[in-house]
Amino acid sequence: MTLTPVITEHWDSPDLYTLEGYRKFGGYGALVSALKQDPDSIIQVVKDSGLRGRGGAGFPTGMKWGFVPQNDGKPHYLVVNADESEPGACKDIPIMMANPHALVEGVIIASYAIRASHAFIYIRGEVPNAVRKVANAVEQARAAGFVGNNILGTDFSLDIVVHAGAGAYICGEETALLDSLEGYRGQPRLKPPFPAVAGLYASPTVINNVETIANIPYIIERGAAWLRQFGTEKSPGFKVFAVSGHVNRPGIFEAPLGITMRELLDYAGGMRDGRKLKFWIPGGSSVPMLVEEHLDLPLTYEDMAGAGTMLGTGTPMVFDETVSVVKAVTRWLEFYKHESCGKCTPCREGTYWITGMLERFEHGHGHEADVEKIAHVCTQIAGRSFCALGDAAATPYPAALKYFRDEFLAATHTSADEQFDPIASYLFAGATR
Amino acid sequence: MTMTSNAGSDLAAVEMVSVTVDGVIIEVPKGTLAIRAAELLGVEIPRFCDHPLLDPVAACRACLIEVEGIPKPQPACAQVVSDGMQIRTQMSSPVAREAQEGVLEFLLLNHPLDCPVCDKGGECPLQNQAMSVGRPESRFDGEKRVFDKPINVSAEILLDRERCVSCARCTRFADQIAGDPMLELLERGAKQQVGTAADQPFDSYFSGNTVQICPVGALTSAAYRFRARPFDLVSVPTTCEHCASGCSLRTDYRRGTVTRRLAWDDPEVNEEWNCDKGRFAFPYLQEGRITSPMIREDGELRPASWPEALDAAARGLAAAGSSTGVLVGGRSTVEDAYAYARFARVALGSDNIDFRVRESSSEEAAFLMSVVAGTSVTTTYESLEQAPIVMTVALEPEDESPIVFLRLRKAARSGRTRIVNVGAVATKGLAKVRGELLAALPGGEARVLQELPADLKSALHQPGAVILVGERIAAVVGGPSAVAALAAETGASLAWVPRRAGERGALDAGALAGLLPGGRQLLDPTARTEVAAAWGIDPDGLPADIGLAGEQLLMAAREGRLAALITGGVELADYPDHELAEAAIVGAGFVVALENHHSAITERADVVFPVAVVTEKSGTFLDWEGRPRPFVQVFRDSLAQSDAMVLGMIATTMERRLGVHDVAGIRRELGVLGPWGGQRSLSPADAAQSAPVTSTPVDGALLRLVAWRALIDSGVMQEGEPFLAATARPVVAAMSARTAASLGHPAAVLVAGPKGSVELPVQVGEVIDGAVIMPLNSPGCSIYRDLGARIGDAVTVRAAESREGGRS
So what's the pLDDT on residue B660? 80
Cβ neighbours, 10 Å, residue B39: 18
Question: Which overall architecture, per CATH, does domain A238-320 show?
Answer: Roll (3.10)
How close A345 gets to chain B, by Cα (Å)? 5
Nearest residue in B to A357, CA atom: B142
Q: What is the pLDDT of residues B469-506, one digit of tens each?
A: 999 999 999 999 999 999 999 999 999 999 999 999 99
8 Å CB contact between B177 and B406: yes
Looking at the predicted structure, is the pLDDT value of residue B4 above 80?
no
Which of B106, B110, B171, B187 has the highest number of chain A CBs within 10 A, making it the mutation to test binding with A? Answer: B106
Which of A169, A352, A371 has the highest number of chain B CBs within 10 A, making it the mutation to test binding with B? Answer: A352
Is the interface score ipTM higher than 0.85?
A: yes
Which chain A residues have a beta carbon less than 8 Å from that of B62? 345
Which of B64, B140, B187 minimises the CB distance to A353? Answer: B140
In 3D space, the residue among A339, A377, A383, A343 whose CA is nearest the CA of residue A358 turns out to be A377
Domain-wise residue ranges, chain A = 19-222, 238-320, 325-425
Which of A337, A356, A384 minimises the CB distance to B64? Answer: A384
Which of B57, B99, B185 minimises the CB distance to A342? Answer: B185
Contact B139 A348 (CB under 8 A): no
How close A187 gets to chain B, by Cα (Å)? 10
- Residue B621 to residue B338: CA distance in whole angstroms: 12
Nearest residue in A to B64, CA atom: A384
Query: Maximum CA pair distance of chain B?
Result: 89
- Contact status of B662 with chain A (Cβ, < 8 Å): no
Dihedral sign, Cα of residue B500, residue B502, residue B508, residue B509: negative
At residue B704's C-alpha, the angle toward residues B359 and B781, to 5°, is 65
State residue A355 phi and psi, 5-degree precision: -60, -40
Residues of chain A above pLDDT 90, percent: 96
- Quick one: chain A helix, strand, coil %, rounded to 5? 45, 15, 40
Query: How does residue B547 score in pLDDT terms, banded at 50, 70 and 90?
Result: very high
Query: How does residue B807 score in pLDDT terms, banded at 50, 70 and 90?
Result: very low
Domain annotation for chain B: domains and CATH numbers: 11-109 (3.10.20.740), 115-285 (3.30.70.20), 294-358+503-673 (3.40.50.740), 368-497 (3.40.228.10), 701-806 (2.40.40.20)
Query: How does residue B699 score in pLDDT terms, banded at 50, 70 and 90?
Result: low
So what's the pLDDT on residue B782? 96
Domains A238-320 and A325-425 share a fold: no
State residue B597 phi and psi, 5-degree precision: -135, 155
- Residue B608 to residue B310: CA distance in whole angstroms: 10
Residues of chain B above pLDDT 70, percent: 95
Which chain A residues have a beta carbon less than 8 Å from that of B189? 337-342, 348, 351-352
Question: Which overall architecture, per CATH, does domain A19-222 show?
Answer: 3-Layer(aba) Sandwich (3.40)
Q: What is the pLDDT of residues A80-119, one digit of tens each?
A: 999 999 999 999 999 999 999 999 999 999 999 999 999 9
How close A140 gets to chain B, by Cα (Å)? 38
Q: What region does A127 belong to: left with phi over 0, alpha with psi -120 to 50, or beta?
A: beta
8 Å CB contact between B295 and B302: yes
Contact A343 B166 (CB under 8 A): yes
- Residue A211 to residue A128: CA distance in whole angstroms: 19
Task: Specify the fold of A325-425.
Answer: de novo design (two linked rop proteins) (1.20.1440)
* Residues shown for chain B: 808
Mean pLDDT, rounded, for B24-45: 97
8 Å CB contact between B388 and B418: yes
- Residue B218 to residue A156: CA distance in whole angstroms: 54
8 Å CB contact between A175 and A197: no
How close A348 gets to chain B, by Cα (Å)? 5
Q: What is the pLDDT of residues B345-392, one digit of tens each?
A: 999 999 999 999 999 999 999 999 999 999 999 999 999 999 999 999
Mean pLDDT, rounded, for B514-538: 95
Query: How does residue B13 score in pLDDT terms, banded at 50, 70 and 90?
Result: confident
8 Å CB contact between B548 and B402: no
8 Å CB contact between B67 and B84: no
- Contact status of B105 with chain A (Cβ, < 8 Å): yes
Q: What is the pLDDT of residues B397-434, one digit of tens each?
A: 999 999 999 999 999 999 999 999 999 999 999 999 99
DSSP state letters, A123-191: E-TT-HHHHHHHHHHHHHHHHTTSSBSSGGGSS--BEEEEEE--S-GGGGSHHHHHHHHTTS---PPPS
Dihedral sign, Cα of residue B443, residue B446, residue B451, residue B452: positive
CB contacts under 8 A, B 752-791 vs A, are none
- Residue A300 to residue A311: CA distance in whole angstroms: 6
